């Protein structure tokens, strides 16, 4: 059966201002983009709303594109056209996509994607799981590889009940590395314990800091993954034995990391940052090749993304509102074809 022809126009969710207002995200009719020789054209099946997307639409992310622009850092779909010879091998195949740092993203019916930012989906990976293949799974993998390469015998993480936190839990269990999981609410403790977490602490419980310190010293935790920032960064740094390192990979609190200089001066401790985009650009080819082989085999299995809502582009206001609350419940996906005319 021949693939349906590519239309001249498409629906796209367009950001017109970095102000966080629902009115600044509107569905528009746009020409379907044409792929360059290094790109393919993807008919988008699904694209999630990640914390990085929520920061981007408010102008708080590490990349700020000229407006108007189509947001959406990752997604999945089917390649329907190629701008060059190499990409023709992908035509008709389902792929996971990672949007470029320049140009439009994936909150649209069609998107052009650079060939290195496309990954064919294995048969066991659904479009929904493929839509979230890049950001969280590769971040979790890169952070765990950092722990293993550094010989760290125990770890601690914040926002442990998030999609990324649960993936780090799965990888830690897989590698047999003890991990302390910090959550924000008591009900999240029970969730993680059901997933096999042994050491779970709520940051709002009495004597949290002392319990965190005692647990980190007992397990000899020397590496922390912090997705929150604010006070928690300093609490992690203080809790670890001398020489420990905190890697900040998120800013869920949107607050400055607060820590005491004595931890750096007298404790020989460090705070670093991790950004997946930089890792992709600066990491060794061998490490990225290893990740490219391992991560897709785990996605949809050990690294599974929970989905709680599937909405059309026209429901952008509701989608962003839902995605901004209770991230533990699962991802919100844009399904561009859902709102298309029959």
Mean pLDDT computed over 159-179: 97
18 pLDDT higher than 60: yes
* 89 shares a domain with 15: yes
Taking CA atoms, 73 is separated from 67, 191, 255, in Å, by 16, 28, 23
* 125 shares a domain with 36: yes
340 pLDDT higher than 80: no
41 pLDDT higher than 50: yes
Mean pLDDT computed over 274-280: 92
Question: Is 3 a domain residue?
Answer: no
Question: Is 229 a domain residue?
Answer: yes
pLDDT tens profile 215-260: 999 999 999 999 999 999 999 999 999 999 999 999 999 999 999 9
Distance of CA 292 to the CA centre of its chain: 16
At 283, the pLDDT band (50, 70, 90 cuts) reads low
* 312 shares a domain with 273: no
pTM: 0.94
**Cα 242 from Cα 328, distance rounded (Å):** 32
Q: Give me the number of domains the chain comprises.
A: 2
CATH number at residue 29: 3.90.180.10
Mean pLDDT computed over 65-73: 97
Structural domain for 330, as ranges: 9-132+305-339
Beta-carbon contacts of residue 98 (< 8 Å; ≥ 6 apart): 73, 74, 113, 117, 118, 134, 135, 280
pLDDT tens profile 316-328: 999 999 999 877 8
Higher pLDDT among residues 125 and 326, named by residue: 125
Question: Is 164 a domain residue?
Answer: yes
CATH number at residue 151: 3.40.50.720
**Cα 63 from Cα 70, distance rounded (Å):** 13
Mean pLDDT computed over 74-103: 94
1 pLDDT higher than 60: no
* 119 shares a domain with 60: yes
Question: Is 140 a domain residue?
Answer: no
pLDDT value of position 327 = 78
* 18 shares a domain with 103: yes
**Cα 229 from Cα 112, distance rounded (Å):** 34
Continuous H helices in the chain:
51-56, 127-131, 135-149, 163-175, 186-194, 208-219, 231-239, 261-265, 276-282, 285-298, 316-323
Higher pLDDT among residues 257 and 1, named by residue: 257
* 160 shares a domain with 123: no
């Amino acid at each position: 059966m021949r693939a349906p022809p590519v239309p001249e126009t498409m629906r796209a969710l367009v950001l017109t201002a970095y102000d966080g207002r629902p009115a600044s995200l509107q569905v528009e009719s746009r020409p379907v983009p044409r792929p360059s020789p290094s790109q393919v054209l993807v008919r988008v099946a699904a694209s999630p709303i990640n914390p990085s997307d929520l920061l981007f639409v408010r102008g708080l992310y590490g990349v700020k594109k000229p407006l108007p622009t189509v947001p959406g850092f990752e997604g999945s779909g089917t390649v329907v056209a190629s701008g060059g010879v190499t990409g023709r091998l992908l035509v008709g195949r389902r792929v996971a996509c990672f949007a470029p740092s320049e140009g439009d993203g994936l909150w649209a019916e069609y998107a052009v994607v650079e060939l290195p930012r496309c990954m064919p989906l294995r048969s066991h990976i659904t479009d929904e799981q493929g839509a979230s293949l890049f950001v969280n799974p590769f971040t979790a993998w890169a952070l765990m590889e950092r722990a293993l390469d550094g010989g760290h015998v125990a770890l601690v993480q914040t926002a442990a009940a998030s999609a990324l936190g649960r993936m780090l839990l799965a990888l830690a269990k897989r590698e047999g590395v003890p991990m302390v999981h910090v959550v924000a609410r008591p009900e999240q403790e029970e969730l993680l314990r059901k997933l096999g977490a042994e050491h779970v602490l709520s940051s709002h419980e009495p004597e949290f800091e002392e319990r965190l310190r005692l647990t980190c010293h007992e397990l000899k935790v020397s590496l922390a993954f912090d997705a929150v920032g604010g006070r928690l960064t300093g609490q992690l740094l203080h809790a670890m034995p001398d020489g420990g390192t905190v890697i900040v990979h998120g800013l869920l609190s949107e607050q400055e990391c607060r820590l005491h200089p004595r931890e750096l001066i007298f404790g020989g401790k460090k705070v670093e940052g991790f950004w997946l985009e930089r890792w992709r650009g600066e990491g060794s080819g061998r490490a990225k090749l290893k990740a490219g082989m391992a991560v897709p085999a785990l996605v949809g299995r050990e690294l599974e993304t929970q989905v709680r809502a599937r909405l059309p582009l026209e429901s952008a206001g509701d989608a962003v509102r839902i995605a901004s609350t209770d991230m533990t419940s699962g991802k919100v996906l844009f399904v561009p074809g859902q709102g298309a005319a029959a």
